[in-house]
Amino acid sequence: MFKRFSFLFAAGLIALALSPLSCGKKSEAKTSQTVKLHIDYDNESRLQLTVDNGYQLWRLNPIDVAHGALTDSHQMAEYNACKIVKMDEKHAVVSTSYREAKYNVHLARVVKPNGIWTATEIEKIK
């Protein structure tokens, strides 16, 4: 009986030593939080007219708009860390990270084709 117990105990120790839990790697589940942004279509139309008249041209750049949306929502992000990860004629996604959080800002051209970009949602991934 003692031999059997010793064998099972030794087998358990070996199994524990080889398990991922003993490797020092933590398996962290990522959580995300998405905030849908309110879009005032009348205001966006006025902003489009402003851009059409040569002002606030930064609204034509999805990175500028994404960074502005993050700043307006009190999220920290460095401008130079913002990167376009997806973009077509109507939609774009700009990704950035700050400290331990990653952000995906979803944008759309809601007024007209080739018009200004509007941030529609911010996804925060921890």
What is the rounded distance in angstroms from the CA atom of residue 5 to the CA atom of residue 111? Answer: 74
Q: Residue 100: pLDDT band by 50, 70, 90 thresholds?
A: confident
- Output the six-digit token pair for 19: 């398990």
| Tally of CB atoms within 10 A around 10 | 10
- Is residue 11's pLDDT more than 80? no
- Is residue 5's pLDDT more than 70? no
pLDDT in tens, 28-70: 567 889 999 999 999 999 999 999 999 999 999 999 999 999 9
Sequence spans of domains, the chain: 29-125
